[in-house]
């Protein structure tokens, strides 16, 4: 009974119920936006899979990682926040924390690899042009392996998972380094290899890219060659990647600062509200990637527009049809009200609907009625006659 009461106390919320309701509401919004955005991005990427560039593989992998975080964290965090306590027990807490670390580190490592690929393609194009889809897949496998090592570590007693200080979610136990040397070594390695090193690589990569682009801008503008479009595409990917990196690091940096404060300082001095707000910012990172690429990348945006147009057509075809009489009536009315330019076989052009408002003074509207023609096959030749002359032609001439 004592252990049950201790566990119950650990999983109770330590912030006000109003803050928990606010967090639950924001998490619900993040979940819906992330699901919609990342699913649409993956669908667009699937439709244009034959034309994807190797650098765009990392965009897709980032969307997969964000979707994995959305599906594994939000369904558990939202009801816990509304109920004002963690609802799913110790084992689920461990799995929840592992998924959070896995997908979070995968996203950051993925952005690091993307920055290196962009730097290689822009700064060393002779080598970057040799970067193939098979190389991208191999690098993505390394990204997942790298993140998995640190995610599985606490399950193997290197570090520890536990409830967040605010009580309604789980993550790394930031209090453990205060009294466990092994947990301290895990936190140090996590901070060095999963935050400081990736951030440094990202910063240096985009700094080199910026210097290279500035130095070669005049040459690119003066020499228009078949490689210009490719260079412009690379520059666009670089700009969008920088935007995603800024959004991701901006979302996760507050949590990293608070976590380091708790790990290397006095954990009891860190207010639970600081952890709650930092965690809320961190989880918002799942919505940045699809927003940036779907709204700002032209080929993704065009493919999205084409897919949405096809979907609207499918919905229109599947809608209940009008009665035949109403359908024909509406069609004829639409033909009367719409001005359509029709070119006949004699080369003349006639505009329908030019005198829709001349019914009362028809004499003022001198519009020659259209001459409709039809082709009649007679033997091995055909002749073109007006519709008014068809009555004079023998019925046997129609094929």
* High-pLDDT (> 70) share of the chain, %: 68
Mean per-residue pLDDT, 116-143: 90
Per-residue pLDDT, 125: 85
Per-residue pLDDT, 289: 81
pLDDT, tens digit (0-9, with 9 covering 90-100), for 165-201: 898 999 998 888 777 888 889 999 999 999 999 999 9
Residue 360's Cβ-side half-sphere holds a number of Cα atoms within 13 Å equal to 1
Per-residue pLDDT, 231: 54
Instruction: For residue 254, name the pLDDT band (cuts at 50, 70, 90).
Output: very high
pTM, whole model, 2 decimals? Answer: 0.72
CA distance 328 to 331: 5
Answer yes or no: is pLDDT of 324 > 50.
no
Answer yes or no: is pLDDT of 311 > 70.
no
pLDDT, tens digit (0-9, with 9 covering 90-100), for 216-230: 665 545 554 445 444
Per-residue pLDDT, 249: 87
Q: Which fold has domain 2-312?
A: Rhopdopsin 7-helix transmembrane proteins (1.20.1070)
Average pLDDT, the chain: 77
User: Which one is predicted more confidently, 228 or 254?
Assistant: 254
Query: Please, which residues have CB within 8 angstroms of residue 193's CB and are 6 or more apart in sequence?
Result: 150
Q: Which stretches of the chain are assigned E, i.e. beta strand?
A: 161-163, 170-172, 341-343, 349-351, 373-378, 381-386
Residue extent(s) of CATH 1.20.1070.10 domains in the chain: 2-312
User: Which one is predicted more confidently, 386 or 61?
Assistant: 61
Instruction: For residue 127, name the pLDDT band (cuts at 50, 70, 90).
Output: confident
CA distance 288 to 282: 11
Instruction: For residue 29, name the pLDDT band (cuts at 50, 70, 90).
Output: very high
Instruction: For residue 5, name the pLDDT band (cuts at 50, 70, 90).
Output: low
Answer yes or no: is pLDDT of 233 > 90.
no
DSSP output for 77-136: HHHHHHHTB--SHHHHHHHHHHHHHHHHHHHHHHHHHHHHHHHHHHH-HHHHTT--HHHH
User: Which one is predicted more confidently, 161 or 314?
Assistant: 161
User: Which one is predicted more confidently, 56 or 395?
Assistant: 56
Residue 316: name the closest of 326, 308, 306, 324 by CA.
308
Answer yes or no: is pLDDT of 374 > 60.
no
pLDDT, tens digit (0-9, with 9 covering 90-100), for 68-88: 999 999 999 999 999 999 999
Instruction: For residue 355, name the pLDDT band (cuts at 50, 70, 90).
Output: very low
């Amino acid at each position: 009974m004592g252990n049950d009461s201790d566990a119950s106390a650990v999983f109770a919320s330590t912030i006000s119920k109003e803050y928990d309701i606010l967090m639950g509401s924001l998490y619900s919004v993040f979940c819906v936006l992330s699901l919609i955005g990342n699913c649409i991005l993956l669908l667009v990427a699937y439709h244009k899979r034959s034309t994807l560039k190797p650098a765009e593989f990392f965009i897709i992998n980032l969307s997969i990682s964000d979707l994995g975080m959305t599906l594994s964290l939000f369904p558990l965090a939202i009801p816990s926040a509304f109920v004002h306590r963690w609802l799913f027990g110790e084992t689920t807490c461990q799995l929840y924390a592992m998924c959070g670390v896995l997908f979070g580190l995968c996203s950051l490592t993925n952005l690091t690899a993307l920055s290196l690929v962009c730097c290689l393609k822009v700064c060393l194009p002779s080598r970057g042009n040799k970067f193939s889809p098979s190389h991208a897949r191999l690098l993505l496998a390394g990204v997942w392996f790298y993140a998995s090592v640190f995610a599985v570590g606490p399950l193997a007693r290197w570090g520890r998972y536990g409830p967040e200080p605010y009580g309604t979610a789980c993550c790394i136990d930031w209090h453990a380094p205060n009294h466990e040397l092994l947990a301290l070594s895990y936190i140090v390695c996590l901070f060095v290899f999963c935050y400081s090193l990736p951030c440094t690589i990202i910063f240096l990569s985009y700094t080199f890219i910026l210097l290279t682009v500035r130095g070669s801008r005049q040459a690119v503008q003066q020499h228009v060659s078949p490689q210009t479009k490719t260079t412009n595409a690379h520059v666009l990917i670089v700009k969008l990647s920088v935007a995603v990196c800024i959004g991701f690091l901006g979302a996760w940096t507050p949590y990293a600062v608070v976590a380091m404060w708790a790990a290397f300082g006095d954990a009891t001095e860190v207010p639970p509200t600081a952890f709650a707000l930092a965690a809320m910012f961190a989880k918002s990172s799942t919505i940045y990637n699809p927003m940036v690429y779907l709204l700002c990348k032209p080929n993704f945006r065009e493919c999205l527009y084409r897919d949405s147009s096809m979907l609207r057509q499918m919905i229109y075809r599947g809608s209940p049809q009008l009665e035949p009489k109403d359908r024909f009536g509406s069609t004829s009315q639409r033909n009367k009200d719409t001005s359509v330019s029709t070119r006949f076989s004699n080369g003349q052009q006639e505009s329908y609907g030019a005198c829709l408002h001349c019914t009362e003074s028809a004499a003022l509207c001198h519009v020659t009625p259209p001459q409709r023609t039809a082709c009649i096959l007679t033997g091995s030749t055909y002749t073109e006659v007006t519709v008014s002359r068809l009555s004079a032609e023998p019925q046997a001439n129609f094929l």
